[in-house]
């Protein structure tokens, strides 16, 4: 599943399209997670792409009269291609630009989204209740410490709650907790202020490392080949059940938490 670093890298890779004018829209499969707005082929041509930003895992493409919200869902990717690139089976949505380039959404499982919002996009129901961006100054030890007060749920579930902080998916939650030495099942409200500070630092560092890895694989990520393009990284714990901890050598354990597989080192994480 594309996580925040893949989405941010996708956004950066699409930046050359800012300032370009839409030529035409092609909708091949109108039903993604929600129906793709049928009016787009009439509305978007002639409009200029003004800005490409990101909120959580949503890419926000602002045009003259509104904003397109793009989401990659479980299996989606967005490719930047030349206009004559033949569409493949799972290529559901294209924006052709007048300069001959093409933004294409490929999504085999169709949990992705293409939505159109006129007015303030941040008030859209998908965006308005979101917590701070993990790499912003608004997410710090103080904000996390405040968010955990009275919450007895495992800390891993709390940092994956998008009202607390956005974009900390299963991989990065597991990795950041290992790096902070915190057992994923620890009751959130039991974390000291100091451990909150440390956890925030490690969440930021984990995401930043992934962004760096993403930058170096940008070409693959945008290629037109069948490669899913998600970043391959060396994880400390994620997906490493039974393998030796990279710090202490103990076998990495796994368990289900909040219906997600969770990986941890029983010796390094308390
Ligand atoms: Zn260990």
- How far is the first Cα of the chain from the last one, in angstroms, to the nearest whole number? 28
At 216 the three-state DSSP class reads helix
DSSP assigned state of 189:
G
200 Cα to the center of ligand 1, angstroms: 20
Q: Is residue 43 a contact partner of residue 116, using CB atoms and an 8 Å limit?
A: yes
Q: What is the C-alpha separation between 182 and 197, in angstroms, rounded?
A: 12
d(CA 267, ligand 1 centre) in Å: 5
Give the chain's mean pLDDT.
92
Tell me the DSSP string of 67-88.
EEEEE-TTT-EEEEEETTPPP-
pLDDT at 222 over 60: no
> How far, in Å, from the CA of 221 to the mean position of ligand 1?
32
Decide if pLDDT at 243 tops 80. yes
Q: Across-strand partners of 218? A: none
Please write the tens of the pLDDT for every residue from 140-171. Answer: 999 999 999 999 999 999 999 999 999 999 99
Query: What spacing in Å lies between the alpha carbon of 116 and ligand 1's midpoint?
Result: 47
CB neighbour list of residue 5: distance below 8 Å, 6 or more residues apart: 207, 210, 211, 213, 214, 231
Taking the centre of ligand 1 as the mean of its atom positions, its distance from the CA of residue 4, in whole angstroms, is 26
**Which strand (E) or helix (H) includes residue 141?**
helix 141-148
177-207 residue pLDDT tens: 999 999 999 999 999 999 999 999 999 999 9
Give the residue numbers marked as catalytic: 2-3, 57, 260
């Amino acid at each position: 599943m594309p996580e925040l670093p893949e989405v941010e890298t996708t956004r950066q890779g699409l930046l050359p399209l800012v300032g370009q004018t839409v030529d035409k829209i092609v909708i091949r499969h109108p039903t993604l997670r929600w129906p793709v707005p049928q009016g787009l082929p009439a509305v978007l041509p002639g409009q200029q792409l003004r800005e490409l930003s990101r909120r959580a895992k949503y890419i926000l493409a602002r045009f003259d009269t509104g904003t397109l919200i793009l989401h990659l869902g479980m299996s989606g990717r967005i490719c930047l291609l030349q206009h004559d690139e033949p569409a493949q089976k799972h290529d559901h949505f294209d924006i052709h630009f007048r300069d001959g380039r093409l933004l294409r959404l490929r999504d085999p499982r169709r949990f992705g989204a293409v939505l159109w919002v006129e007015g303030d996009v941040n008030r859209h129901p998908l965006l308005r209740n979101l917590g701070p961006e993990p790499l912003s100054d608004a997410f710090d030890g103080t904000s996390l410490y405040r968010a955990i007060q009275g919450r007895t749920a495992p800390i891993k579930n709390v940092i994956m709650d998008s009202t607390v902080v956005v974009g900390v998916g299963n991989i990065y939650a597991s990795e950041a907790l290992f790096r902070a030495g915190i057992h994923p099942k620890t009751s959130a409200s039991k974390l000291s202020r100091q451990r909150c500070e440390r956890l925030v630092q490690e969440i930021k560092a984990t995401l930043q490392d992934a962004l760096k890895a993403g930058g170096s694989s940008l070409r693959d990520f945008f290629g037109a080949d069948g490669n899913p393009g998600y970043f391959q990284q060396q994880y400390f714990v994620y997906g490493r059940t039974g393998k030796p901890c990279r710090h202490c050598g103990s076998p990495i354990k796994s368990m289900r938490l909040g219906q997600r597989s969770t990986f941890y080192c029983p010796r390094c994480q308390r």
